[in-house]
Structure 1
Amino acid sequence: MTIRDVATRAGVSPATVSRVFSQPETVAPGTRQRVLTAAEELRYAPNPVARSLARRRTGNLGIVVPDIANSFSAMIIKAAQQEARHAEYALFVTASEELVDDEERQARALAPQVDGLLLTSPQASDACLRELADIVPVVVTNRLLDSVPAVLTESAQATGHAVEHLHALGHREVAYLAGPDGYSNQSRTSGLQAACARLGLEPVVLGPFPARFSSGVRAADLVLAAGVTAVVAFNDDIAAGLLTRFADRGVRVPEQISVVGHDDTALAEMVTPRLTTVHIPAAAAGATATQLLIRYVRGDDSGVRRYELPSELIVRGSTGPVTARST
């Protein structure tokens, strides 16, 4: 059935039928009801592409992540996709490869093609984010900017718990492998340094490193050269790289060195030994940020503009007490 069939059945013009589906508020209630009844009788459904163009809507949402291959990004994308699908939106996904220029370029390219844009842990300038927010509704994760709605995963306290856990096991020489500069790394660094200050420890900070498996492989020798008995990594990917390189060098975990990651991705359960890590609620962050974005796309900005999601330490087999061999 076509729009002309509906118009004939309802006794109106095709233009009136079009307005009923694109701008219903411009059509008299009685006429609108006749058109909807005729459409239902004829089982007519408007073309979704044409309907979106008429409403100046695309039916699409966009998300920019630092690295699609990163386990944490994958969890965010999956959660965002589920929420988008539930709300009948398609999701466009792109990655910046942790390059600021690429992130800004990708975001600007997506903005005109989507109804809303989600940026995860963005490193773009404040000016760029505000410029994007003037073009399309924008929500960010793990970034503080007064004018932009945000979902934050607060890890400082849980990172402090990781340091306390290591201290209780007898560790006094601890290294931290920093990740890319931004809210997440700042939160983890502040939690680690505050805990170390309370416990009288002097942490060795190495990096920053890209949040990738290869960074852990590269950093492992630096960690061993530093002579520490425990290492806290920015994320599970880096921690898994550490475990691999330590195994290659015959360094036993946790007998000779303990390892803690961040994120609690599926990777933490796959490596040997299973990884002690700080659980960061990635799926909840992705779902909450997408729900917030959809709310803004639909014109509802009356609710909460910033959410903080808590983290917690998960203890597994990669941490253990200091032994004579590890000292």
Structure 2
Amino acid sequence: MTGVELPSPDRTPTIRDVAELAGVATSTVSRALSNPDRVNRMTRERIQQVAAQLKYVPSSQARGLSSGRTQAIAVLVPDITNPFYFDITRGTQHQLKAAGYTQLLVDTEESAEMEGEALHKMRRSADGFILAASRLTDVQLAESAAAHPIVTINRASANAPTVVIDTPTAIVQSLEHLASLGHSKVCFVGGPASSWSNAKRWKSFEDETRERGMTTFRVGPFAPKTTSGAAAADAAAHTGATACIVFNDLLAIGMLQRLRERGVRVPEDMSILGCDDIFGADFCNPPLSTIASPIEQAGRVAVSMLLAQLNPLQGGPTRRLAVMPTHLTIRGSTGPVRVP
């Protein structure tokens, strides 16, 4: 990027200026800002840095003034205090900013009613919507997708493009891990009844444990918060299971605290395995074994899929499904089954 002259302060930067300073073609700049998953990471980040340095505004933002578009995207999440959604919204924010859009963040408080109201009230203030872990029914989601450009995260739909974090596959890995430690009595600690991902994880758990001949228990549903951990721990301890796979890390962390109060040792008496690998999961006592996933990248991909709907000529064909891989992270909360 050396030796390239910056545009004068009194001239509006163009896409050609960004391309020249970044040392790439203008078509690469266009893809990096509107459909970033089609550009390799190092090139994409270099382009985004140059665009920010030049204060470049994509032409789509200027066109929005005359087309009636707001150049704003609404991101709806069930619980803004959950660190899982920190990473989702960080990814969407960075990608939207690079493309010249403003992010409008809405906390729907785990309520399908609030989610539906937000979609209705913001129909004129947002060009499109990203719904993370939507609590809407299939019918409600279909109606919303027919009325607005929408992309969902962790909520598959036949009517809207979807980014799915593949936790069901990691559930199988988790059960393999627990089986290798000698556990044959395992408990699934469920999340919200309206959660699509909770149903998928239970199905994977149920199928795999049946195939392995494990004794299984299911408790819940529980709100995916640390405050629900006490009730979840009491219910799980009552089953006689020696290991639990928990809907999310917040619930698992709450369980660790309650089990310690009850004198149940983790992992000596009961192993606990969470999901999401949120910030702080490795600071627990003991550190939490969990299912890790590229959460921030899921937010970025969702933005690229939505921008492809809004600007099909610029973004190319709209992807209908993106599956994000996951993996098991083993820490101190899982260990060998206790031998009587």
Tell me the TM-score normalized by structure 2. Answer: 0.78
Q: How many residues align?
A: 279
After TM superposition, the structure 1 stretch with the greater mean CA deviation from structure 2, 230-239 or 186-195, is 186-195
1:310 to 300, 315, 325: 325
Cα distance per residue 1:240-270 (max 9 Å; x no partner): 0001111222222111111000111112112
**In 2: Cα distance, 1:52 partner to 1:144 partner:** 30
Q: Which residue of 2 aligns with 1:204?
A: 217
**Contact 2:308/2:317, CA 8 A, preserved across alignment:** no
Q: 1:12-62 CA deviation, whole Å, 9 max, x = no partner?
A: xxxxxxxxxxxxxxxxxxxxxxxxxxxxxxxxx9xx999744221111110
Residues 236 and 267, structure 1, Cα contact 8 Å, conserved in 2:
no
Aligned partners of 1:258 and 1:318 also within 8 Å: yes
Q: Judge conservation of contact 1:84–1:91 (CA < 8 Å) in 2.
A: yes
Report the alpha carbon displacement of residue 307 of structure 1 after superposing the two structures with TM.
Answer: 0.8
Q: Which amino acid aligns with 2:75?
A: I
State yes or no: 1:137 paired with 2:149: yes
2:11 aligns to what? none
- Provide the rounded CA distance (Å) in 1 between the counterparts of 2:165 and 2:128: 21
How much does 1:131 deviate? 2.9
**Cα distance change, pair 145–227 in 1 and its aligned pair in 2 (3 A):** same
Question: 1:100 Cα deviation (Å)?
Answer: 1.2
Secondary structure, aligned partner of 1:112: coil
Aligned-partner residue type, residue 132 of structure 2: T
- What is the distance in 1 between the residues matched to 2:147 and 2:70? 14
1:298 Cα deviation (Å)?
A: 1.6
1:144–1:253: structure 2 CA closer, same or farther, 3 Å change rule? same
Shift of 1:200: 0.5
Aligned-partner SS, 2:68: coil
Cα deviation for residue 139 of structure 1 reads: 0.6
Give the letter for the 2:128 counterpart. G
Report the alpha carbon displacement of residue 229 of structure 1 after superposing the two structures with TM: 1.0
How much has 1:125 moved relative to structure 2? 2.6
Quote the offset at 1:233 in angstroms.
Answer: 0.3
Q: Deviations over 1:112-144 (max 9, x none)?
A: 211110001112133332333333311111222
Between the aligned partners of 1:228 and 1:89, the Cα distance in structure 2 is 49
CA contact (8 A) 2:233 2:259 kept: yes
2:292 corresponds to 1:270:
no
Give the structure 1 partner of residue 195 of structure 2: 182
- Provide the C-alpha distance between the structure 1 equivalents of 2:254 and 2:285, rounded to a whole number of angstroms: 11
Instruction: Decide whether the 8 Å contact of 1:155 with 1:191 is kept in 2.
Output: no
Give a deviation string over 1:151-198, Cα, whole Å, max 9, x none. Answer: 111222210111111111111211111112333112211221122112
Question: Which residue of the partner structure matches residue 31 of structure 2?
Answer: none
Q: CA 1:257–1:309 in structure 2 vs 1: closer, same or farther (change >3 Å)?
A: same
Q: Say what the alpha-carbon RMSD is for the aligned residues.
A: 1.9
1:122 to 134, 142, 150: 134
Q: Which runs of 5+ in 1 are unaligned?
A: 1-44
Deviation at 1:275, TM superposition (A): 0.7
Give the TM-score of the pair, scaled to structure 1: 0.80
Matches of 1:146 and 1:222 in 2, distance apart? 36
Cα drift, residue 301 of structure 1: 5.9
Say which of 208, 218, 230 aligns to 2:243: 230
How much identity, in percent, do the aligned residues show? 33
Amino acid at match of 2:286: P
Tell me how far apart the structure 1 counterparts of residues 139 and 252 of structure 2 sit (CA, whole Å): 34
